[in-house]
A and B are shown apart, each in its own frame.
Chain A
Amino acid sequence: MGEAIIDRGPQPSVSELMGKQVEQILHKRIAGDALSPPTLPVVADRIFVVLREPGFVVRSYAAVLAVDPTLAARALRQATSGGFAGSSKKLSLEEVVSRLGSVSMRRLFSEATTLQMTPSRDGAIRDAVQGLWTHAVTVARMARDLAAFTTVGDSEAAYLAGLLHDLGKPLVAAVLLDAERQLSRTSKRPWISATDWVAVVSGVHRTAGAALAERWALPEGIVRSVRDPSEYDNSDRGGLGNLVTLANALAKKSGMTVGAVDQQDVSAVLMIGKSLVGVSDDILDKVVAGVRSQPPAL
């Protein structure tokens, strides 16, 4: 008699297995309020420059937050807690900095410089990390310009919502980069491929980002964007979330993203968004042209 063949179904892929582990790590840290997302070295360099400036220039501090989603989220968390809790005002980055003031901002920035991400040894992963930040800033700028051109919503608040829409991605990236760093100390085994790396980020970031946004009690419009920026809320056509959804689809359609894109899906989101937000193809073209003419630089 031959051996019985047991059908175990499809085996989970490397990215699925690793994704589950990363998800568990992140949810545990978020639940325990033990998450300290590191900063990109290039952002840390900018922080040093600002900290050396004489006086407290709100714009300089806001300009650094404008390129770092996790740092911006940390600042927003502080600016909407304590005495400001429950305020329904949609904030811009400059308002966040103004609310926190010199002492808190300097403390936040100083802390950020102590924990920096270790760059990957794999050039493709380094590019992907850069791409995550670039996409966040791209969506932020597109959301801001869409708000300005359509007079739907506040444009600077839309920037912040756009910047944070993929809040989970830098969190996942940080865990993966840390794992790579630790592995490289103890083993010469090759790390996962850039494709798997991006797949892990794509598979896990949404739940991790939403968990963090909820845990940090970020404003409702931002939590909604982080939770699912691919569906519109047609009960609030001018809401920040809808602008971010449209901007995110526009960035993807224009190739300003990392990872695979379902073009059919993105086209549908754009088609809905044009009617829901009330924006013409001409304006969308201008928004894309604006980002292309001055690509986000970290």
Chain B
Amino acid sequence: MGTILTVDDSRAVRTIVSKQVKELGFEVLEAEDGEQGLCKLKEVVVDLILLDVTMPVLDGPGMLAKLRESGNKTPVIMLTSESKRSVVAGAMQLGINDYILKPFKPEELRQKILGVLKIGGADVEEAAIVQSAPPPVAAAKPGEPAAREGRQFIDVLVVDDMENVQKRLRQPLPDYLTVNGVTSAQAAVGMCRDHVYRVILVDSEIPDVSSSTLAGQLKLLQPHAAVLALALRSTNSAARELKAQGFEEVVWKPFTQDSIEDFTLQYFDNQEILVIEDNLLRLKPFIGKPERMERYCLRLAQMVPQLMTKVASACYETLIVDVNQVPMLVERVPKLLTTICKQAEEIGLTVTLVGAEGLQRVLAGFDETKGIRCFKSVPEARAANG
């Protein structure tokens, strides 16, 4: 992979560094001081030098100066217990690429070596770990941090010093939403470093914590998340005040079915509404107030054509649409299915439906849908389509 020269008068440090560098797949050369280091460099070309500052015979800055005078531009990481800024500033002028203070963690050495050599090894390895782990409960949208950084995606983080709050919120939320709960600011920051959240709910009255400050910090760590306040409806101006403190919205305590429905629809409306598996489209259940059914159907009608194109692109001839979880409202579902069938026909797909017993009866009542084949289960539909 490459060669790294470690220059340090401490045998113990050289041994530790060599072990860790070898684990990264590099060859290692050792030198006890700057003079020895320069001699080694006359014999071999290395990819990186790990250089101590204080050494006998010729110290780190002395070796670095001679190295650069000779025109050698090998990257250098200063690895030292010296933290005086004048020393480091001088070394920076001579062209060091990074700095590690002793004692150091193996992870820091690894990251900085890979960083200076611009090797994406760390990312590749971490990505492999994520792929072998169980899949996240909810998939992040393309381009969202979870996809980029391999962190676990969670829907909701609740930050409230009262543990009961997260339990009370969990109960009315749909099962497919994942929820984390913490009772302290420190734990919240820790969770936000390790996960990616879609919505963060922060109690507006956590003892000894400025909720607005905490919200700001969490927002920095989770720029894609909506950060909302959890508050008691105390005064008419409470919502305005909390928004002025930087919260996007307020969720009032104690929770009501209506408020949770509103919350779910506002922040998770676009989730799990439609799932595609090969040539099977599963329409997910409608959640919310009946008056929002129209909006749900409209969104389905907008989303289906995009997914249909994928099915056709994969050379399937039949599109199986599973509407088992969709409430069979006579005035809406046939209209939706009519739209889907027309769109399918335009790109050369035949539609087969999977739904409850009453489905065929309902569809038979309309000219546009009476010809659609209907099955009770997905295996039956698949078998019928060969």
Contacts and interface: CB of A to CB of B under 8 A. Distances in A.
A92 B213 contact: no
Given A149-B221, A271-B88, A275-B99, A234 B81 contact: yes
B92 A275 contact: no
Interface string B86-125: 1011001100001111001100100000000000000000
Interface in A265-279: 265, 267-269, 271-272, 274-276, 278
Main secondary structure, interface of B, reads helix
Contact of A267 (B92, B210, B216): B92
B162 interface: no
Contacts of A289: 220
Contacts, number: 75
A182 interface: no
B191 to A, nearest CB: 12
Nearest to A249: B85
A255 interface: no
B84 interface: yes
Contacts of A144: 213
Interface string B337-354: 000000000000000000
A134 B89 CA distance: 27
Nearest to A276: B101
Given A149-B189, A264-B92, A294 B98 contact: no
B258 interface: no
Contact of B104 (A92, A268, A275, A287): A275
B83 A276 contact: yes
Interface in B173-190: 185-186, 189-190
Given A148-B217, A151-B186, A267-B92, A275 B85 contact: no
A16 interface: no
Contacts of B213: 144
Given A59-B210, A264-B93, A272 B88 contact: yes
Main secondary structure, interface of A, reads helix
A81 to B, nearest CB: 22
A113 interface: no
A145 B101 contact: no
A144 B208 CA distance: 14
B233 to A, nearest CB: 19
Interface string A130-149: 00000000000000110011
B11 interface: no
Interface in A15-66: 59
B246 interface: yes
A253 to B, nearest CB: 13
Interface of B: 81, 83-86, 88-89, 92-93, 98-101, 104-105, 108, 185-186, 189-190, 193, 208, 210, 213, 216-217, 219-221, 246
10 contacts: A145-B220, A148-B189, A155-B185, A156-B208, A230-B85, A265-B85, A268-B86, A278-B108, A286-B221, A294-B216
